[in-house]
Chains A and B, each alone.
Chain A
């Protein structure tokens, strides 16, 4: 999946792995079921002189065509559930200690970002506010505090595999750990009004020196 969309956060690969597991297991059963289906159609096609029969499927030798695959699918489900719970815990329920916290505010139809200034703390005089551009340091753990000023939005960073609803009146905390420098897309993934389609932003994952220089350049003059 890396070839389709780069994995720029620490947990992107595990989410992709889970999607791949689901794809392979469901794909295997889909191909097998369709194969059997079409084979049965061909095998029992209309033939001259042979009357069709009504089959209830209650006989043991017929019922096993259902029960055996059913049991095997349930075994596959166990693997999917184990994988899903592990990824869900890692991404959504486990909150690692952050290096920094940023605030992400959705509104019709823009993203506002509140970054900590040189003191590293949020809600202090040197905070840096930007619109549609989020700047983070590579290989650091970030908490994000996600809110909305008006309606439902969804903070989506495809290369991080993040997709989190923003709900008015509620602050939702999540986390990410960028592992690749570069500029990546941010999008709103919840229909939020007529301008939803243009509610895009960018996340700039910078090296430590680049990020320090950016903070120094953009810190409010009053805080310096």
Chain B
């Protein structure tokens, strides 16, 4: 065989082997490395440090507990969150959650998010924290006295979360964009608590949450 033909045959063989190898690739191993790789798709909205982006409605997620991140990703995947046609931000997140379709991906990215440093966002809203402290007493049972969250009742930490995001979520619960799916038990628990708050009460309780460490 001529040298050029031989090299062409070898190249073709290598290409075929590469294609077949790619087709038969083993699923990625779940864990931090996989989570870090998956997090690349979160960066455009949540930022490389997970600080969030108010313009896009993407919350500060870095350092949130793994169980909470997993639970929310599952809610998005199941349509418990982000399914309302008017919830533009939620719809965006729901679609992205569906990309976590390999076994262990959801847990891996949640593990990576939980490993990030939790940073506080500067407040952008105003409210009466003193008045909000009174309203917050209703929240203590689930979210804890210092807003640290309680896993046993599926309640997330509130301290350190951006005030604009907390307001957006309270409004979504009140409007029925969250917490109305019959299968979303924890959402259904939160919704009536949001419904009793008017605009001022929401601003006040959020102002108080911003004082929690």
Binding site for B on A (CB under 8 A): 105, 107-110, 112-114, 129-131, 149-150, 193-195, 197-199
Distance in angstroms from A196 CB to nearest chain B CB is 9
Question: Is there an interface contact between A107 and B44, defined as CB atoms closer than 8 Å?
Answer: no
Interface contact B95-A109, CB-CB below 8 Å: yes
B92 touches A109 (CB 8 A): yes
Residues B85 and A198 in contact, CB atoms below 8 Å apart: no
B44, B86, B91, B96 pick with most chain A CB within 10 angstroms? B91
Q: Bits for B21-53, please: 1 = Cβ < 8 Å to A, else 0.
A: 000000000000000000001001000000000
Contact of B85 among A108, A112, A197, A199 (CB under 8 A): A112
Find out whether the CB atom of B41 lies under 8 angstroms from the CB atom of A107.
no
- Measured in the bound complex, the distance between the Cα atoms of B89 and A149 in whole Å is 11
| Complex Cα–Cα for A12 and B41 (A) | 36
Which residues of chain B in 129-165 are interfacial with respect to chain A, using CB atoms and an 8 Å cutoff?
none
The docked-state distance in angstroms from the alpha carbon of A113 to that of B86 is 11
Is the CB–CB distance between B99 and A195 below 8 Å? yes
Please give the distance in Å from B162's CB to the nearest CB on chain A. Answer: 21
Residues A198 and B88 in contact, CB atoms below 8 Å apart: no
Q: How far is the CB of A185 from chain B (nearest CB, A)?
A: 15
**With A and B bound together, what is the CA distance between A26 and B92 in angstroms?**
43
Which residues of A have CB within 8 Å of B96? 109, 194-195, 198
> In the bound complex, do residue A198 and residue B91 qualify as a contact, i.e. CB atoms below 8 Å apart?
no
Q: Which residues of A contact B86 (CB under 8 A)?
A: 129
Closest to B44 in A: A194
The contact size tier of chain B is 10 to 19
Given contacts A129-B85, A130-B85, A131-B85, contact A112 B91 (CB under 8 A): yes
User: Which of B83, B84, B98 lies in contact with A198, CB distance below 8 A?
Assistant: B98
Residue pair B99, A131 in contact (C-beta under 8 Å) = no
Residue interface bits B85-105, CB-to-A below 8 A is 1, else 0 = 110100110111011000000
Q: Which of B62-112 contact A (CB under 8 A)?
A: 83-86, 88, 91-92, 94-96, 98-99
Q: How far is the CB of B178 from chain A (nearest CB, A)?
A: 14
Q: How far is the CA of A195 from the CA of B99 in the complex (A)?
A: 8
A109-B91, A129-B85, A194-B44 known; 7 new pairs, CB 8 Å cut-off, are A107-B91, A108-B95, A109-B95, A114-B85, A130-B85, A149-B88, A199-B95
**Which B residues are in CB contact (< 8 Å) with A198?**
95-96, 98-99
Residues of A within 8 A of B85 (CB): 105, 112-114, 129-131
A197 CB contacts on chain B under 8 angstroms: 99
Q: Chain B's nearest CB lies how many Å from the CB of A109? A: 4
Q: Report which of A114, A131, A193 forms a contact with B44, defined as CB distance below 8 A.
A: A193
Query: How many Å from the CB of A216 to the closest CB on chain B?
Result: 20
Set of chain A residues within 8 Å of B84, measured between Cβ atoms:
131
Q: Are B92 and A110 in contact (CB under 8 A)?
A: yes
